[in-house]
Amino acid sequence: MAVLAEGLDAGHEPPVEMLRNIVEFMRTFADTCHHGKEEAHLFPCLETRGVPARGCPIGVLIHEHERGRTLVAQLAQAIEAYASDNAAARDAVTEPLRGLVELYPGHIWKEEYLLFPMSAKVLSAADQQHLLGKFAEVDAAIGPEVHQRFERMAEEIEQGTHAS
C-alpha cells in the first residue's frame, strides 16, 4: 500500500482492480478473519480470565480495528471515484492508503509484543485448544480457496508494484 500511495503521488495510476483487491483483502482477511477471530473469540476469552476490556491491549486493539474499517471504507469509496476518472480521486485514494500504512505496523507490534505474550500467560491449555477450534471454524467459513486466492493476489500486487 505504501508503494501504491507513493506511485499515485508520482503520477502512476495503478489498475482499479488492484485497488479493489486490496479492499477485498482488508475486509475479508484482515477484518473478517484476523480481527474477527480476536473480537469474537480471543478477546472474550481473555476477559473471562480477568483481562480488562477497556484500555490496553484489548480496548486499544478494538479501537484500531474500528479505525482500520473506517479507512478501508474510505478507500473503497475513493476507488469508485478513481474508477470513474475523477481527477481529484487520486488524493482521496492516497489518504486512506497512507492511513492504513501508518496504522498497521503499530497495531501488529501491539499484538506481537503485548497481546500474544499476555495471552500465552493468561490462557490455559484448554482455553487455547478451544480457541484453535473456533479459529478453524472461522477459516473454514471463509474457505481455503479464498486464502489461496489472496496469496496469488498478494504475489500479483507485489509484482505490479515492483514494475511501477
pLDDT digits (tens, 9 = 90+) for 79-110: 999 999 876 788 899 999 999 999 999 999 99
Q: Is residue 82 part of a domain?
A: yes
Q: Does residue 114 register a pLDDT over 90?
A: yes
Q: Are the CB atoms for 31 and 103 separated by under 8 Å?
A: no
Q: Is residue 9 part of a domain?
A: yes
Q: Is residue 122 part of a domain?
A: yes
Q: Is residue 6 part of a domain?
A: yes
Q: Is residue 163 part of a domain?
A: no
pLDDT confidence band for 113 (50 / 70 / 90): very high
Q: How many CB atoms lie within 10 A of CB 61?
A: 20
When divided into structural domains, the chain yields a total of: 1
Chain centroid to Cα 44, Å, comes to 20
pLDDT confidence band for 162 (50 / 70 / 90): low
**What confidence score (pLDDT) does residue 148 get?**
92
Q: Is residue 69 part of a domain?
A: yes
125-161 confidence digits (pLDDT tens): 999 999 999 999 999 999 999 989 988 988 877 776 6
Q: In which domain, by residue range, is 110 found?
A: 2-158
Task: Give long-range contacts, CB 8 A cutoff, 24+ apart: 26-33.
Answer: 26/68, 26/72, 26/75, 26/100, 27/72, 28/142, 28/146, 28/150, 29/142, 29/147, 29/150, 30/68, 31/65, 31/68, 31/69, 31/72, 32/138, 32/142, 33/138, 33/139, 33/142
Global pTM reads 0.90
Q: Is residue 164 part of a domain?
A: no
Q: Does residue 164 register a pLDDT over 80?
A: no
6-55 confidence digits (pLDDT tens): 998 898 888 899 999 999 999 999 999 999 999 999 999 999 999 999 99
Q: What does the angle CA 57 – CA 54 – CA 43 come to, to the nearest 5 degrees?
A: 60
Q: Is residue 116 part of a domain?
A: yes
Cβ partners under 8 Å of residue 30, min gap 6: 68
